[in-house]
Amino acid sequence: MLVPTMGDLHRGHLSLVEAGGALGHVVVSIFVNPTQFGPNEDFDSYPRDLQADRAKLDELGIAHAVYAPPVRELYDADAATWVTVDGLGDSLCGSHRPGHFRGVTTVLAKLFAIVQPDFAVFGEKDAQQCLVVQRMVRDLRLPIRLVFAPTVREGDGLAMSSRNRYLSEGERQLATVLRSALDAAHSALAAGERSVSEVEAVMRSAMRSVQLDYAELRSLPALAHPEGASGHMLAAVAARVGHARLIDNQPFRIEDEAVVVAALDEDATPAAALQWLRGEN
């Protein structure tokens, strides 16, 4: 089973390793993938400390192997093959980071081919990434079962991210508005608001102190623009805080009056994967 990461491991990553450990032998890949970074993004400055990452994994004692290839092992100088998921990868983060998901799906196709995992674990924190990879696996008929693990947060609700280390103390305080915006969306929905534009306005208003990339309510799993808030939905936000670009999201299920916090895909939770595995054995 594979847990793909870019390293600088934090408790969010380690929770994926824990989820994976319940499903079989765990390989953690650590690779800062150049093709998923835009020309003006943080590829060069992205934190890299393989020794520290290995020490964290050793301490956890679950991972069986670390795969940390140099760039040339995954990309020949004249590499010409890309894996692209049309549509799903074009909106939200895709529209703010052109080519990002093409880089993600291309490197994952390589990692899947090399490691040949039966399961791969991803974090719900990157919900659009989960959905794009899910479509790639389905469309290419890859024999891999995906597992989406819940987002691990700091005490004040900020989603853990390697990019949080770019934040100054003041920016770290400001960054909590992403979670506040999702909570505000939840409150509005729970109070009966079903207009998508109203819920999005509530989220934008909660994020007025930061430079907004987007604050949107989309339907799952297609990330379509819904007519109204109902069924399985994703509230998704992204903003620039200082030098960091931060994202967060919250899936909901909205049925009549009831609004409940949901998983991104109930069939892909760690518990569902474990159940599936037990049923198979």
Kindly state the smallest distance separating residue 255's Cβ from ligand AMP, in Å.
27
DSSP character at residue 160: P
Rounded-to-integer distance, Cα 218 and Cα 207, Å: 18
Structure tokens at 212: 């907004």
Q: Which residues are catalytic?
A: 13
Which span (51-59, 72-80, 159-167, 259-267) binds ligand AMP, by CB under 6 A? 159-167
Map tokens 């990553």 to a residue.
13
Kindly state the smallest distance separating residue 163's Cβ from ligand AMP, in Å.
8
Kindly state the smallest distance separating residue 106's Cβ from ligand AMP, in Å.
14
Nearer to ligand AMP, 16 or 203 (CB): 16
Kindly state the smallest distance separating residue 214's Cβ from ligand AMP, in Å.
18
Binding to ligand AMP (CB under 6 A) within 114-143 occurs at 122-123, 125-126
Query: Residues touching ligand AMP: how many (CB under 6 A)?
Result: 17
Q: Is the CB of residue 251 less than 8 Å from the CB of residue 234? A: yes
Q: According to the binding rule CB under 6 A, does residue 56 interact with ligand AMP?
A: no
Q: According to the binding rule CB under 6 A, does residue 249 interact with ligand AMP?
A: no
Nearer to ligand AMP, 229 or 249 (CB): 249
Residue 270, burial from CB neighbour count under 10 angstroms (0-12, 13-18, 19+): buried
- Cα torsion through 171, 17, 58, 103, rounded to 10: -60
Residue 67, burial from CB neighbour count under 10 angstroms (0-12, 13-18, 19+): middle
Structure tokens at 109: 């196709």
List of residues 6+ apart from 94 with CB closer than 8 A: 88, 100, 101, 128
Q: According to the binding rule CB under 6 A, does residue 269 interact with ligand AMP?
A: no
Kindly state the smallest distance separating residue 154's Cβ from ligand AMP, in Å.
9
| Helix spans in the chain (H) | 11-21, 50-60, 71-74, 93-96, 100-115, 127-139, 169-174, 177-190, 196-206, 270-280
Looking at 1, 2, 12, 135, which residue binds ligand AMP (CB under 6 A)? 12
Which span (9-17, 139-147, 227-235, 250-258) binds ligand AMP, by CB under 6 A? 9-17
Q: According to the binding rule CB under 6 A, does residue 161 interact with ligand AMP?
A: yes
Q: According to the binding rule CB under 6 A, does residue 152 interact with ligand AMP?
A: yes
Looking at 6, 19, 107, 132, which residue binds ligand AMP (CB under 6 A)? 6
Rounded-to-integer distance, Cα 28 and Cα 115, Å: 10
Site of interaction with ligand AMP (CB under 6 A): 5-6, 12-13, 15-16, 122-123, 125-126, 149, 151-152, 159-162
